[in-house]
Structure 1
Amino acid sequence: MKTAQEIINNPFINKGTAFTLEERKALKLVGVLPTVVQTLEQQVAQTYQEFQKKVSDLEKRVYLMTLFNTNRTLFYALMSQHVEEFMPIVYDPTVADAIRQYDELFMKPQDAAFLSIDHPDEIEEALKNAAGDRDIRLIVVTDAEEILGIGDWGIGGVAISIGKLMVYTAAAGINPNQVLPLVLDVGTNNKQLIEDPLYLGNRHPRVRGEAYYDFVDKFVSTAERLFPRLYLHWEDFGRSNAATILEKYRNRITTFNDDVQGTGIVALAGILGALEISKEKFTDQRVMVFGAGTAGVGIATQISEEFKQQGLSDSEARARIYLVDKQGLLFEDTEDLTEGQKHFVRQRAEFDNASSLTDLYHAVKAVHPSVLIGTSTTPGMFSEEVVKEMASVVKRPIIFPLSNPTELAEATAKDLIHWTDGRALIATGVPSAPVVYNGITYNIGQANNALMYPGLGLGIIASTAKLVTQTLLSEAAHALGGIVDTSKPGAAVLPPVEKLTEFSEHIAIVVAESAIKQGLTREKIEDARKAIKAAKWYPKYE
């Protein structure tokens, strides 16, 4: 039997003051807890009251993480009642501050796994130690090279994996006892970290090339062997590695890259939602993506795949997509193109003025896209001049400034509404307040990946899907894009985060049904709804 200290220090089984008198007797907890026995509901009320006393968002985060480290059930019971309020605290944007101060704030590893490229022979031992006797179904792994909009933060990026898994559980009911946050410590190119005496990771430049990919491969093969029902989620890998890793494993294991695929699915869902409002055809759209990094190429790829799902050929699909980066519109002879970018380059012969298309305004003027998406992390680039040029030709321009945090956004929703006389259909990468213009209240959808990946993950895990196919992703995007209220002016193109738990379950059912229909399941699953119900975890004391 575990000792009293082992029980109350284990967040997966600790109930704190909710242990009954009978449990206290049986578990030898008499005298190690305050006298009063509380219900979970009383604990939730008490902890929320304490949370509200915290002044800064970072202080609130530290409080919540302490609760997370102490009592997992109580943490999720509290978060489930305040998902919209807590998400910016446990994840973006406050997690960025926590990552910058990871070494100073470090108290506990929060049940994460830390794999060092300097000790590849310890991968199996490390995974076993971190998992213990838990049946791991979901790993969120990062190498922390491109964290949000703040770049390379080394081992501190593990907070991204932890935060993602919190949202998985709070939004979709993924069992927290079956998840494992993980960081691949392959070094860092952040000089500030290497020179910081408090830094907790490997103090050398990032390992590249064959040694890096061998390390990743050893991690994948070991994790797959130890956890045979694993769903592997990649997060915040660098531009040079993210797509390469996804392509290597996507047709071999159950895997998903949130930056490449998740961002693309949510952007696609936003477009589909906008077209529900405008009543235009998807295959008539001309799409321009400004910022051709991992996220931008991922969005272009998902949109291209949807064009093909709706009947266009590969060349026809690519012909409707334009990538613009710091060099301007990307052409076949643009230098230093990534593999992902090469798929969407244009021919100079398409334009009479190709040499002048070196900035966003001239690219918009030449193409007149009906959809403009920003993933550039360059603030203010969707200027009044750019937007009015687009809107001069397009009746209902679809404009998504998705860069975050707020100070990096390409435009504000308020400006976009005013510059287009209320015609723009908008989604932003950060929460945006409603905009009142000419007596109409415009609700602004947030293209937050959390709208998609929790429900997607629950559907995949519950259905025991072997692969994450393009058909499955397309059906998930349509499920999200279809949750749009088109009955009144000013409707948002995406559902609100406040209803995340409701539509996450809807998406999960659609995904599970798609996996069953495609014959992708490891186990014989016939009823998607029944499988989802059986897989969901609820924050209640056993």
Structure 2
Amino acid sequence: MENAADGREIDLLVVTDAEGILGIGDWGVQGVDIAVGKLMVYTAAAGIDPSHVLPVSIDAGTDRQSLLDDPAYLGNRQPRERGETFFNFVDKFVKTAQSLFPEMYLHFEDFGRSTATKILNTYKADWPTFNDDIQGTGIVVTAAVLGALAITGEDIKDQVYLTYGAGSAGTGIANRVLAEFMQQGLSEEEARQRFYMVDKQGLLFDDDETLTDEQRPFARSRAEFEHPEALTNLEAVVKAVHPTVLVGTSTNPGSFTKEIVEEMTANTPHPKIFPLSNPTRLHEAMPADIIKWSDGKALVAAGVPVDPVTYSGVTFEIGQANNMLVYPGLGLGTIVSQARILSDGMISAAAHALGGMVDASQSGAPVLPPVSSLREMSERVAIAVAKEAVAEGINRKSMPDVEAAVKNAEWIPEY
């Protein structure tokens, strides 16, 4: 890392082991391209100076046999290191990076289900650390929920939230939305009563010994249901719990069926349905179908760009729940304020800044602002995040004028 930095001050480091790339899976050392791409978005969207960033690949091996068999593969030709050996290496990497780059914002990308949350939880309490797959999507979905509620006039505390797909993305999103329920006045116990999670085995129950540490807090008791043995598929769970918000991170295409959408529409005036799996071939449902099946009542966000949908004379703009709406501004605000950590308050500020850009007066308005407003969004998020850092007293840099500090930090490609 020291050689790669070549004397440069590094403000932002994106690191990946490329075990869990969405839509690809394990991509080995080649996953460094994702880290490079993320840094490009940081620069294009938020104006982070590209001379102060560094992409890093942790080559822990790969479990993709086709890569191990490929003579052109550049990575270590071995199965992935697991357990203590892997976590010790990550810890050595983090401590070295902290020593070399003491003002670094550390972004973890595409780590696997079994490692991502543990790594984030290990370092987030004492360093400005971010996991895009866990926190980034969670912030965007929280913003989408807030945007939808701005359109409908409903209260977040009245919502019932159902996750379909209980991997690190699904649980991370649910944790972020849960935190928003609590910030709006519910106790943790009250908030958790409004959250349900479905995975391959159906509704998650607390007597399931296969649950991960991230899934277990969302597991329900069988005693809550008259026929828990029947709750083995998404449709049965929707009929039993009557969700108002349905979020898909399952990569199970077509799983949000006509029957499920109609069931939700029968139980809530405006179902919020977010099929987030991507690429398009993995979508739980296409937005045009959701709009049609709900008779134009559903509020939809998708994980990929989707053309507007016209139904019954109304053109519905479909918000894209893409992490790039939030992570560039979140990083810029954290870097500019030199925050000691990335706090829950800063994350919530980012979600509210994004959700607050929705035009609730517009017929067919999207629940998220369009990607075409990315630079404006990023600046707005950065200002909100930096202001929250100052309000919490965790900024290491004096900022008498936060807006000016953010604007002055934005790099402009002038040569």
TM-score (norm 2): 0.99
Tell me the amino acid that sits aligned with residue 424 of structure 1.
A
Q: Show CA shifts across 1:432-466 (max 9, x none).
A: 10000011100000000000000111100111111
Give the aligned partner of residue 454 of structure 1.
Answer: 328
User: Structure 1 residue 296 and structure 2 residue 166: aligned?
Assistant: no
Indicate the SS of the match to 1:365.
helix
Q: Show CA shifts across 1:57-96 (max 9, x none).
A: xxxxxxxxxxxxxxxxxxxxxxxxxxxxxxxxxxxxxxxx
1:370 to 220, 244, 250: 244
Q: Show CA shifts across 1:494-520 (max 9, x none).
A: 000011001110110000100011011
Partner Cα distance (2:199, 2:79) in 1: 27
Give the aligned partner of residue 191 of structure 2.
Answer: 317
Q: Show CA shifts across 1:87-139 (max 9, x none).
A: xxxxxxxxxxxxxxxxxxxxxxxxxxxxxxxxxxxxxxxx0111112110000
Indicate the SS of the match to 1:340.
coil
User: Structure 1 residue 389 and structure 2 residue 266: aligned?
Assistant: no
Partner Cα distance (2:67, 2:85) in 1: 22
Partner Cα distance (1:359, 1:221) in 2: 44
2:356 to 472, 482, 486: 482
Partner Cα distance (1:179, 1:317) in 2: 39
Contact 1:516 1:526 in 2 (8 A): no
Contact 1:323 1:344 in 2 (8 A): yes
Note the 1:173-252 alignment, pairs <5 A. 173-252=47-126
Give the aligned partner of residue 217 of structure 2.
Answer: 343
Partner Cα distance (2:198, 2:167) in 1: 10
Indicate the SS of the match to 1:264.
helix
Partner Cα distance (1:319, 1:531) in 2: 42
Percent identity (aligned): 58
User: How far off is 1:488 after superposition?
Assistant: 2.0
Tell me the amino acid that sits aligned with residue 70 of structure 2.
D
Partner Cα distance (2:23, 2:396) in 1: 37
User: How far off is 1:525 after superposition?
Assistant: 2.2
Partner Cα distance (1:483, 1:523) in 2: 28
User: How far off is 1:319 after superposition?
Assistant: 1.0
Partner Cα distance (2:200, 2:377) in 1: 37
Contact 2:302 2:318 in 1 (8 A): yes
1:523 to 397, 403, 406: 397
Tell me the amino acid that sits aligned with residue 235 of structure 1.
E
User: Structure 1 residue 283 and structure 2 residue 157: aligned?
Assistant: yes
User: How far off is 1:335 after superposition?
Assistant: 3.3
Partner Cα distance (2:362, 2:24) in 1: 38
Give the aligned partner of residue 166 of structure 1.
Answer: 40
Partner Cα distance (1:244, 1:316) in 2: 26
Contact 2:29 2:59 in 1 (8 A): yes
Tell me the amino acid that sits aligned with residue 245 of structure 2.
V
Partner Cα distance (1:138, 1:224) in 2: 11
Indicate the SS of the match to 2:186.
coil
Give the aligned partner of residue 148 of structure 2.
Answer: 274
Indicate the SS of the match to 2:182.
helix
Partner Cα distance (2:103, 2:235) in 1: 49
User: Structure 1 residue 535 and structure 2 residue 409: aligned?
Assistant: yes
Give the aligned partner of residue 386 of structure 2.
Answer: 512
Give the aligned partner of residue 500 of structure 1.
Answer: 374
Partner Cα distance (2:237, 2:23) in 1: 25
User: How far off is 1:221 after superposition?
Assistant: 0.4
Partner Cα distance (2:365, 2:403) in 1: 29
User: Structure 1 residue 144 and structure 2 residue 18: aligned?
Assistant: yes
Contact 1:273 1:484 in 2 (8 A): yes
Indicate the SS of the match to 2:414.
coil
Q: Show CA shifts across 1:511-541 (max 9, x none).
A: 0100011011112222211211221100001
Partner Cα distance (2:400, 2:51) in 1: 26
Tell me the amino acid that sits aligned with residue 133 of structure 2.
D
Note the 1:31-42 alignment, pairs <5 A. none
- Alpha-carbon RMSD across the aligned residues, in angstroms, is 0.7
Give unmatched runs, 5+ long, in structure 1: 1-126
Indicate the SS of the match to 2:215.
helix
Give the aligned partner of residue 418 of structure 1.
Answer: 292
